[in-house]
Structure 1
Amino acid sequence: MDVGVLKTELFFETDESMVFTVIDGGSLTKDGYSERVEITIAEVRAQVYMIAWKEISGATVTHVEDHKKGIIYSNATLPDGSFYTMKGTISPVQD
């Protein structure tokens, strides 16, 4: 996932669990931070999903991931109350 100010790798373990790893945190968080979170996934239509979770810090995140077009919309509210609306790209990681 690359939304300009933040680049992360999202690893979906199950339909209820994901690990995110920060590749480039920009000014939002530190590089290399990783956390396992419980997620809720809703399929909007084929290859489009809304995914939401709450982090240990109290931050809440909601994504709309369009895997067909490779576009991600991300909204995050941080514990200090700041709100970020981001748009970027999403693509599968190649092994």
Structure 2
Amino acid sequence: MEGGESGNRGWKGGPDLRLEVGSQGIDRGIAMSDFAFAGKTFVVRLDNGVVLHNIYAAEGNRLQYAEIDGASESASGTVDLHVAEVSPKVYLLGWNEVTGTAVTHVMNFHDRTVTGFWSFDQDGGRTGEVHSGTFEELD
């Protein structure tokens, strides 16, 4: 499959189309460590009351998350990230949690907003939710 073994594809807009692929940092354009979230810690507040504490690896390829308020309070983990910069300082991030939950979210560093989608097993099938919120960087 073009773009690497993982099959995850991303794009960077503009006249010179670029591709960033998977959590291994394979890219044609920018290094994952150049992503605005790389090496930083954020609090994310979602419209459903969930509050997350997210720590991103310096390379931008891993996330350590902890739900500090909300329905699954105390849920936490460390995951590999699949990332694409879809426009300047707007990032699509995706990962799979050990529980089987698949998460994708868009971080917009222009207005510090996040839009997320996650899907999970429920009642013998799969369901999903879309939520929006804000994020702030911690020192």
Aligned counterpart, 2:30: none
Q: CA deviation at 1:67?
A: 1.2
- 2:90 maps to a residue whose letter is V
Aligned ranges 1:60-79 → 2 under 5 Å: 60-79=102-121
Secondary structure of 1:69's counterpart equals coil
1:79 CA drift (Å): 2.3
Cα offset for 1:72? 0.4
Post-superposition shift, 1:90? Answer: 1.3
User: What residue number does 1:8 align with?
Assistant: 52
Alignment of 1:15-26 (within 5 A): 15-26=60-71
Q: Show structure 1 runs of 4+ deviating over 4 A.
A: none
CA shift, 1:47, in A, is 1.2
What amino acid is the match of 1:42?
A: A
Q: Give the gaps of 5 or more residues in structure 2.
A: 1-43
One-letter code of the match for 1:3? L
Q: Give, in angstroms, the shift of residue 7 of structure 1.
A: 1.0
User: Which one of 80, 88, 93 corresponds to residue 133 of structure 2?
Assistant: 88
Amino acid at match of 2:68: I
Number of equivalences: 91
Aligned-pair distance for 1:62? 0.3
In the TM superposition, what is the alpha-carbon distance from 1:8 to its structure 2 partner? 0.4
Q: Which has the larger radius of gyration?
A: 2
Q: CA deviation at 1:4?
A: 2.4
Distance (Å, rounded) in 2 between the aligned partners of 1:57 and 1:22? 14
